[in-house]
Structure 1
Amino acid sequence: MAVVRVTLPPYPDRLYVKLWMQDRQTRNLLAGPHQLTDFTVNRDGNLETLMQMQIPLGSTEVRFEAIAINPRHRIESRKVGVDRRVSPSNVSEINWDDIGV
Structure 2
Amino acid sequence: RTQHPGAQIINAYGPTESTVNITDHRLDGTEEGPVPIGRPFANTQVYVLDSALRPVPPGTTGELYLAGEQLARGYLGRPALTAERFTANPHSSTPGARMYRTG
Structure in which a larger fraction of residues adopt strand: 1
Length-normalised TM-score, structure 2: 0.29
Length-normalised TM-score, structure 1: 0.30
**Higher RCO structure (Cα 8 Å, ≥6 apart):** 1
